[in-house]
Structure 1
Amino acid sequence: MSNEAPTDLPYRLPWRSADVRIGAHRGKHEGAGGLFRDAVPLLRNPDPRRLDLRVSARDPFEGLHVRRFEQKTSVAVYTLVDVSASMGFRGSTDKMRLAADLCSALAASVRRAGDAFGLIGCDETVQPELRFLATRARGSEIEMLRRLSTFVPTGRSARGLIDAAALIGGRRKLVFLVSDFYMPREDIEDIFAALAHHDVLPIVLSDSLEIEKLPRWGILSLTDLEIGRRRLVVMRPRLREAWQRRSGRRRAELKAIAARFGRQPFEIRDRIDWDKLGAYLVGDAA
Structure 2
Amino acid sequence: MHRSPFHGFSVEFAEHREYSPGDDLRYVDWKVFGKTDKFYVKRFEQETNLSCMILVDASASMGFKSHQAALSKWEYAQCAAAALAYIVLAQQDRVGLGVFAEQYRVFARPEASGGQWQQIVQLLEKESPTGTTAIGAILHEAAERLRRRGVIVIVGDFLVDLNQLERGLKYVRYANHEAIVFHILDDQEISFDLQQPVLLRGLEVASRVAVDPRLLRHAYRRCVEEYLRNIQKICHGLKVDYVRATTQQKLDHVLREYLAFRRKIKNM
TM-score, length of structure 1 as denominator length: 0.72
Aligned partners of 2:2 and 2:168: how far apart in 1? 26
Who is 1:12 aligned against?
5
Deviations 1:74-105 (A, max 9, x none): 20011111111111112123111111111111
The equivalent position to 2:239 in structure 1, one of 262, 278, 286, is 262
Who is 1:108 aligned against?
86
Residues 55 and 98, structure 2, Cα contact 8 Å, conserved in 1: yes
Cα distance change, pair 69–179 in 1 and its aligned pair in 2 (3 A): closer
Q: Structure 1 residue 281: deviation in Å?
A: 2.2
Q: Structure 1 residue 199: deviation in Å?
A: 1.1
Give structure 2 stretches of 5+ with no counterpart: 17-41
Who is 1:99 aligned against?
77
Aligned partners of 1:254 and 1:143: how far apart in 2? 32
Q: How does 1:143-182 map to 2 (within 5 A)?
A: 143-159=119-135, 160-182=137-159
Residues 14 and 45, structure 2, Cα contact 8 Å, conserved in 1: yes
Q: Structure 1 residue 167: deviation in Å?
A: 4.2
Give structure 1 stretches of 5+ with no counterpart: 1-7, 18-26, 38-67
One-letter code of the match for 1:279? E
One-letter code of the match for 1:98? Y
Who is 2:64 aligned against?
89
Aligned partners of 1:266 and 1:69: how far apart in 2? 25
Who is 1:202 aligned against?
181
One-letter code of the match for 1:117? V
Who is 1:78 aligned against?
53
Deviations 1:222-277 (A, max 9, x none): 1111113222222224x111111111111000000001111341111123342342
1:251 aligns with 2:228: yes
Cα distance change, pair 145–207 in 1 and its aligned pair in 2 (3 A): same
Cα distance change, pair 153–220 in 1 and its aligned pair in 2 (3 A): same
Aligned partners of 1:124 and 1:224: how far apart in 2? 17
1:161 is paired with a residue whose SS is helix
Residues 36 and 70, structure 1, Cα contact 8 Å, conserved in 2: yes
Cα distance change, pair 101–224 in 1 and its aligned pair in 2 (3 A): same
Q: Report which of the two structures shows the higher radius of gyration computed on alpha carbons.
A: 1
One-letter code of the match for 1:208? D
Who is 1:47 aligned against?
none
Q: Percent identity?
A: 22
2:61 is paired with a residue whose SS is helix
One-letter code of the match for 2:107? R
Aligned partners of 1:136 and 1:273: how far apart in 2? 24
Aligned-CA RMSD value: 2.7
Aligned residues: 231
Cα distance change, pair 11–278 in 1 and its aligned pair in 2 (3 A): farther
One-letter code of the match for 2:98? I
